[in-house]
Every structure is written in C-alpha cells, then in structure tokens.
Amino acid sequence: MSIDKEKKTELIEEYSRSKTDTGSPEVQIAILTQRIENLTEHFQSHNKDNHSKTGLMRLINQRRSLLAYLKRSKKDSYDKLIDKLGLRK
C-alpha cells in the first residue's frame, strides 16, 4: 500500500530540513512510517496476505536502519523525530 502524492508532499514539507530537501533521513523515516501504518491497516481485513507481510518487514527493517543512522549521527534530531512520529514509547 503506497501513499498518495498529496500526503507524500505534505510529509516532505513537514519533515524536510530545507525547501529543496527530499532525501534526508528524517523525510525517509516519515514516509516509511506512513507506509507502515497503511500496511498495518490493510492487515486488519487481509490477514492472510503473506506477500505484503514480507514487504512490511522490509519497510520496518529499512526504517530501523535509518533510525540507527540518525541516532549515531544527529542525536537531537533523532529525539525530535521520535517524539513527533510517536515511535518508541
């Protein structure tokens, strides 16, 4: 389950560092989080969709490695992002 173009541009505007920033770890993590949330909603009614579960696990692993990189390189940015997205309670 992908996200629509309007939602993606909204996420980029909200989490970007500058006006032309589209690939920073913060933006990538926000987009991955939205895609993960969409897939978890999808599994509420399609619990036997094993191919999508594989894709979900890939997205989770990718987000986890981006979060680890952000935590190593910019701890304050990591803390702000975790609070804003509601991860790691």
Domains (range + CATH), the chain:
5-85 (1.10.287.10)
Helices (H), 1-89: 5-15, 25-45, 50-73, 75-85
- Find all residues with CB under 8 Å of 18, minimum gap 6, and list them: none
How does pLDDT run along the chain (89 residues), one tens digit per residue? 689 999 999 999 999 999 999 999 999 999 999 999 999 999 999 999 999 999 999 999 999 999 999 999 999 999 999 999 999 86
Joined together, the tokens standing for residue 7 give: 């939602």
Task: Output the pLDDT for position 2.
Answer: 81
Do residues 1 and 35 make contact, with C-beta atoms less than 8 angstroms apart? yes
